Chain A
Amino acid sequence: DAGITQSPRHKVTETGTPVTLRCHQTENHRYMYWYRQDPGHGLRLIHYSYGVKDTDKGEVSDGYSVSRSKTEDFLLTLESATSSQTSVYFCAISGGTTIYEQYFGPGTRLTVT
């Protein structure tokens, strides 16, 4: 299994509070991604990174920001959480020998009350 972890695994927070989710990899892969999974929508890309300090928006980036100061860490921040951001968040990495295959972390279940 690819070395990819997410923290926290579960979080409950209140509307309006900031939240940061962390993704950590030990594979030295170039690309890192944040997705959210919601019923009826599958997985939707929030942001992705193609290198340290290089990031780009995905299809559902509003309300989210990201940072990547080290190859191994990719942070997702909800500046002011809303109930619509209640979801399961998955981090993924790619860029190994088969560059398009993504390896996913175990997910973070976020509930915004």
Chain B
Amino acid sequence: DQQVKQNSPSLSVQEGRISILNCDYTNSMFDYFLWYKKYPAEGPTFLISISSIKDKNEDGRFTVFLNKSAKHLSLHIVPSQPGDSAVYFCAAKATGNQFYFGTGTSLTVIP
């Protein structure tokens, strides 16, 4: 069973607008969450993270929100830029440094 789910396989956004990518998880023992960005034929690259003891973390245009009661996190990108077009994966850390990834959301930012 998928413990981390990204229910939107794709998302299209106009340049300059906000992109919101969502992620849901089932395991309440996850204690750290991360977002990665992936371009074709490359490995994922780290984007932003959040500890389970926080509800928001911001880094430039990227903000991650965590709602523990709903077991939901989201990544906000504002303003969106064409270079943000990529596949975004959310990931969650379980005990023992084991990580679970979602299936990814393909973001297209339209110029």
Q: Which residues of A contact B (CB under 8 A)?
A: 31, 33, 35, 40-45, 48, 50, 56, 58-59, 90, 92, 94, 98, 100-107
Whether A58 and B98, one on each chain, are in contact in the complex, defined by CB atoms closer than 8 angstroms, is yes
Name, among A48, A90, A102, the residue most crowded by chain B CB atoms within 10 Å (CB to CB).
A102
- Asked if A107 meets B42 with Cβ closer than 8 Å, knowing A56-B96, A58-B98, A94-B97, the reply is yes
Q: Can you sample 11 A-B contacts with CB below 8 Å?
A: A40-B103, A43-B44, A43-B91, A43-B101, A59-B100, A90-B43, A94-B97, A100-B32, A100-B93, A102-B36, A103-B45
Task: Return chain A residues, CB-CB under 8 Å to B6.
Answer: 42
Given the known interface contacts A41-B103, A59-B100, the answer about A100 and B43 at a Cβ–Cβ threshold of 8 Å is no
Q: Is the interface of A mostly helix, strand, loop or mixed?
A: strand
Task: Contact check, A43 vs B89: say whether CB atoms are below 8 A apart.
Answer: yes
Q: Which residues on A sit within 8 Å (CB–CB) of B4?
A: 42
Q: Which residues of A contact B99 (CB under 8 A)?
A: 33, 45, 102
Taken together as a complex, chains A and B put the C-alpha atoms of A103 and B49 apart, in Å, by 13
State A90–B103 Cα separation when bound (angstroms).
15
Return chain B residues, CB-CB under 8 Å to A101: 34, 46, 49
Asked if A42 contacts B42 (CB within 8 A), the reply is no
Q: Assuming A90-B43, A104-B43, is B97 touching A42 (CB within 8 A)?
A: no
CB <8 Å contact, B96 and A102: no
Q: Which residues of A contact B91 (CB under 8 A)?
A: 43, 102
- For residue A35, which residue of chain B has the nearest CB? B101
For B4, the closest partner residue in chain A by CB is A42
